[in-house]
Chain A
Amino acid sequence: MRSILIFISCCVSFGLSAQHTTEVEALQKDMLARLTGQKELFAGKNIYLHQRSKSFERELSATFLFESLLRSGLKSGKHHYRKSNKYIFLDLIFKPVKGVNVYGILPATVPTEEYVIFGAHYDSEPGSPGAIDNATGVALNYAVIRQLSKLKERKVNFMVVFFDQEEDDEIGSREFAKKLKEDGKIVHSVHTSDLVGWDENGNRAVELQSPAPFLEKLYRTEAAALGIPVHITKGASSDNRSFLAEGFPTIAISEEFFKDDSTPYIHTAEDTYSTVDFGYLASVTELVYRVMKKIAADENRE
């Protein structure tokens, strides 16, 4: 009798887990299709984005992401910024740099001022649909915040952010990190993801770049439970650089960029929807979600 109950319970949990994975994959496929021009960006508006590089393309993407966060029931906002050019003499010739970061806040269920920030950049290189770089990162974070919103208890506020202009020296995330500092936000940790859709060798491994020690421990524990190999790399090559510079505890998650199992189509017109490994994306999403869930439950907090 007992073994029958265990068997039934296993079947139910496997069924629920499979359904959950299917839901996440469907959500991520839809978001990626819209961001990469496979589907119209807004239903019924006949707008197809084949890159997210020009000002108007980035503005359209930002509006789409803002509306997606609103529809998910998050308190959402746009962080507009304008700044001087990289070299001062360019200010005499060109207009100021401008862009917009999009964010959504999922409040804690208990009173707290502490925030966990996680996000990804949504812009792409000129001429590239930017499916893996970095619609996958956007889809990952979007799925995670939606899953977190279903938790009954969260002991920390979560903020998901979609950064503009990572491809231009991480301008968007730099401006956002500065704003966090200026606003005096209490930040538990910052998690950025870039390139999370390629796994040619099928080992589901992730790279964690320059993680704060307590974050490394947290990710390693959850990755081990999921059977995901973890590689730690040094330095900072994406939006994590902006947050490290402001002194926030930071971690960056990516496919095996330095271990040579990363998209060969980066920054090209071939970085399309069809090259994305959605199973891998779902696997990394599950890892990040589990880490966030642990933090939400106040476990392993520092």
Chain B
Amino acid sequence: MRTENKYHYLLYISFIPIVINGFIYLIIGSFFPLLVALILTLTLMYSVNDNLKWKFRAVKYWGILLLLYSLLRICLSVLILIDGSGVEAYIKDQLNSWFHIQTLFFLICGWVLVKKRRML
């Protein structure tokens, strides 16, 4: 029987913001973010439920992806902070504390999932 531990929950929680973002865009008629979210999450879910070797590998890749995603967000924030000329005001407006909390969340999730993948 499969037992769920805190790392399983962390893995599931890590999907939530990306899937929610996908649905937000779907409401306004854009399929792209949801399509990306579904491809990623379904691939991962399929792999996690397959054999152990594939499970560890899939979680590792997902963790790396989250780390890269959070690094991209950090880089964008820093670049806009250094020289925001030509960047739309509504983009700058979004670089608030909530944006940075989300970035931190992805960074921590990615790091923990890579490090603790064998605990899953």
How many chain A residues sit at the interface, stated as a range, is 20 to 34
Which of B24, B76, B88, B89 is in CB contact (< 8 Å) with A95? Answer: B24
Binding site for B on A (CB under 8 A): 53-55, 82-86, 88, 90-99, 123, 125-126, 165, 167-169
Q: How far is B92's CA from A123's CA once the two chains are assembled, in angstroms? A: 15
Which of B25, B73, B88 is in CB contact (< 8 Å) with A168? Answer: B88
A165 B90 Cβ-Cβ under 8 A: yes
Binding site for A on B (CB under 8 A): 21, 24-25, 27-28, 30, 32-33, 36, 72-73, 76, 88-94
Nearest residue in B to A94 (C-beta to C-beta)?
B94
List 7 contacting pairs A-B, 8 Å CB cutoff, sorted by A: A82-B28, A83-B28, A88-B32, A91-B21, A94-B91, A165-B90, A167-B89
Q: How far is B91's CA from A126's CA once the two chains are assembled, in angstroms? A: 12
B21 A92 Cβ-Cβ under 8 A: yes
A93 B72 Cβ-Cβ under 8 A: yes
B30 A84 Cβ-Cβ under 8 A: yes
Q: How far is B28's CA from A98's CA once the two chains are assembled, in angstroms? A: 11
Q: How far is the CB of A8 from chain B (nearest CB, A)?
A: 56
4 shortest interchain CB distances as A-B pairs: A168-B88, A84-B30, A82-B28, A91-B33
A96 B25 Cβ-Cβ under 8 A: yes
A169 B88 Cβ-Cβ under 8 A: yes
Chain B residues closer than 8 Å to A90, beta-carbon distance: 91
Q: How far is B87's CA from A53's CA once the two chains are assembled, in angstroms? A: 13
Which of A86, A88, A93, A125 is in CB contact (< 8 Å) with B89? Answer: A125
